[in-house]
Structure 1
Amino acid sequence: MNALLDQLGAYAPLLISVTKAIIFLLLGFFISSQVAHFIRNRIVNHPRIDDTLGNFAASVVKWLILAFVGIAVLQLFGFQVTSLIAVLGAASLAIGLALQGTLSDLASGVMLIIFRPYKLGDFVDIAGTTGTVKSIDLFVTELSTPDNIKIIMPNSKSWGSIIINYTNITTRRADLVFGIDYANDPDKAMNVILDVVNADERCLKDPAPWVGVTNLGDSSVDLTLRVWCKPSDWWQLKCDLLKNVKYAFDANGIDIPYPHTQIVSVSKDAQAEA
């Protein structure tokens, strides 16, 4: 019994250090999360500061607090932090080479926050991936596609690719092509198209809509319509204009050509006469 108590007494300092370390870590995670949440809410609710900056600042503060907690935990176990920092400094080249992809994501995340090619809620196309920006972290950007698929994209890929922002504009142009039969009057067809456009309040008057003959195809005269609208109306407006113009063409006797196959049968008598 005395031997067991002696062993427990020998391990008591270590057990105390482990207990303190666990408490420090739990407190560190709790405090860092609460502080990050507080900073994020304060910045998000500020009318002059972008929401993207709030998430970024909250992430930076959270990781800084966790770094200090990690240093404190190491000190509990007797590690000389100054010596550890010196060792890490000597090994920084190797660590940098091993983590160059992660460091590139971090640097790209900083650039995205500074130049802000997109922000939370923007509808973007990044490297061929289209979706709504849900979050911008230190290392990744999260997108939500129109069919509600979650996309996680490294910031280095985002910053190093072509970024198309469909939200950060006030107007957008919709281009539609309508084919009519050669027997139809192009001027009449263009007036019918403009009547449909003018009846839709989503179509902007400035810039004014434009329609004209842009191609003489094999079986149709192609009319191109260019109309401006708000970005939020673009997709649905295109669909509605296609449908409404089709109905208007039918009502005005304007034919939309489609491929035909003509079969000619020649009798034997006609072949003999030829």
Structure 2
Amino acid sequence: MNIDVRPEELIAWIARIGSAALILIVGLWLAFVISKYVRKKASAHPRIDATLAGFLTMMIRYALIIVVLIVVLQQFGVQTTSLVAVLGASALAIGLALQGTLTNVASGIMIAIIRPYHIGDFVEINGKEGTVTDLDLFFTELRSPDERTILVPNGQAAANNIVNYTQKGRRRCIIAIGIGYEDDIDRALEIMSETMTGDSRAIADPAPWFGVQGLGDSAVNIEGRVWVATDKHRVYKSEMTKAIKEAFDREGIDMPYPHAVELSKGEIERRGPPIKPKQNQGAGTMRTATN
């Protein structure tokens, strides 16, 4: 089949393709440049934190890319009204197919507006702990204490409890230790208090607390609660647990722990069979006294 294409039509199509390619390249470049500039200015603004700045940057970038694509399609004679209708139908179909993804987007917008956490905060989201390193339309990125990258979907973040350990700038360190029932409780609490509050990382206000947490099967459980800076909590707790154990050893305070006793077959034979308890022969009877 022969296709009769006039030279002027071919030149017109080549010009359209060239202009569309040029608009696409320049438009995408401008979208990234403008979004980068907006992020820089937003990050420098005192009332806009890094989390919201990053989110706004991504929204602006995607909006500019959509505008560029519409202009490119117009170069090929695509009408805007029909394009909007097609986009609306496509958006409905995609929305039904990607309900979970759209939930993440909506949750990301709410998190950016409400801001329960910011970039740099140490948080616990859906059972995952870490420092917030990024927030986009779909995921909240965490860096765990052991340097793992954790991506939490924004839908899960918004639907579950969020614990922010950084918002107040401090975190309470709780150390619970069991001591023997024969040991001096007051002396043990005094040692724990001197050890934990004597460290320069301990915060005096709010005031620390030391007391008996409960009575266990084989130990009296005592507890110390001291506030420290959030970024020092983990190391402080580890070092204080070690220091309290060493102080108790020096003072002769016992820290009970389960013991296992191993008996050989010969020892069992020498001890003989276990003694069976005698049954009460008079159980169930009632005696009466007469005058």
Tell me which amino acid in the other structure corresponds to 1:58.
T
Question: 1:227 is paired with a residue of what secondary structure?
Answer: strand
Q: Deviations over 1:114-151 (max 9, x none)?
A: 11111111111111222211111123222222222222
Does residue 84 (structure 1) correspond to residue 88 (structure 2)? The answer is no
Aligned positions of 1:139-178 closer than 5 A:
139-178=138-177
Quote the residue 1:43 is aligned against.
42
Q: Provide closer, same or farther for how the CA distance between residues 215 and 155 of structure 1 changes in structure 2, counting only shifts above 3 A.
A: closer
Aligned positions of 1:61-76 closer than 5 A:
61-76=60-75
Quote the residue 2:131 is aligned against.
132
Moved more, 259-268 or 160-169: 259-268
Residue 7 of structure 1: how far off its partner (Å): 7.1
Counterpart CA distance in 2 for 1:44 and 1:186 is 53
Question: 1:234 is paired with a residue of what secondary structure?
Answer: helix
Does residue 21 (structure 1) correspond to residue 38 (structure 2)? The answer is no
Quote the residue 1:109 is aligned against.
108
Q: Is the 8 A contact 2:55 2:136 kept in 1?
A: yes
Question: 1:249 is paired with a residue of what secondary structure?
Answer: helix
Question: Percent identity between the aligned chains?
Answer: 41
Moved more, 53-62 or 65-74: 53-62
Quote the residue 2:219 is aligned against.
220
Question: 2:147 is paired with a residue of what secondary structure?
Answer: coil
CA RMSD in angstroms, aligned pairs only: 2.7
Counterpart CA distance in 1 for 2:258 and 2:219 is 10
Counterpart CA distance in 1 for 2:73 and 2:272 is 102
Aligned positions of 1:190-201 closer than 5 A:
190-201=189-200
Quote the residue 2:58 is aligned against.
59
Moved more, 234-243 or 253-262: 253-262
Counterpart CA distance in 2 for 1:11 and 1:99 is 41
Counterpart CA distance in 2 for 1:232 and 1:91 is 47
Does residue 187 (structure 1) correspond to residue 181 (structure 2)? The answer is no
Larger radius of gyration: 2
Tell me which amino acid in the other structure corresponds to 2:50.
D
Question: 1:124 is paired with a residue of what secondary structure?
Answer: strand
Residue 271 of structure 1: how far off its partner (Å): 5.4
Counterpart CA distance in 2 for 1:154 and 1:235 is 26
Question: 2:119 is paired with a residue of what secondary structure?
Answer: coil
Q: Is the 8 A contact 2:197 2:226 kept in 1?
A: no
Question: 1:177 is paired with a residue of what secondary structure?
Answer: strand
Counterpart CA distance in 2 for 1:12 and 1:183 is 100
Aligned positions of 1:246-265 closer than 5 A:
246-262=245-261, 265=267
Q: Is the 8 A contact 2:169 2:230 kept in 1?
A: yes
Tell me which amino acid in the other structure corresponds to 1:190.
L
Residue 34 of structure 1: how far off its partner (Å): 0.5
Q: Deviations over 1:1-58 (max 9, x none)?
A: xx9xx77665332222222222111111110000001010011112222112211221
Q: Is the 8 A contact 2:211 2:224 kept in 1?
A: yes
Number of aligned positions between the proteins: 270
Moved more, 120-129 or 137-146: 137-146
Residue 157 of structure 1: how far off its partner (Å): 2.2
Moved more, 23-32 or 255-264: 255-264
Residue 60 of structure 1: how far off its partner (Å): 1.6
Structure 2 residue runs without a partner (length 5+): 276-291
TM-score where L is the length of structure 1 = 0.87
Counterpart CA distance in 2 for 1:35 and 1:211 is 56
Tell me which amino acid in the other structure corresponds to 1:39.
V
Counterpart CA distance in 2 for 1:45 and 1:263 is 69
Question: 1:158 is paired with a residue of what secondary structure?
Answer: helix
Moved more, 37-46 or 120-129: 120-129
Counterpart CA distance in 2 for 1:149 and 1:15 is 51
Quote the residue 1:235 is aligned against.
234
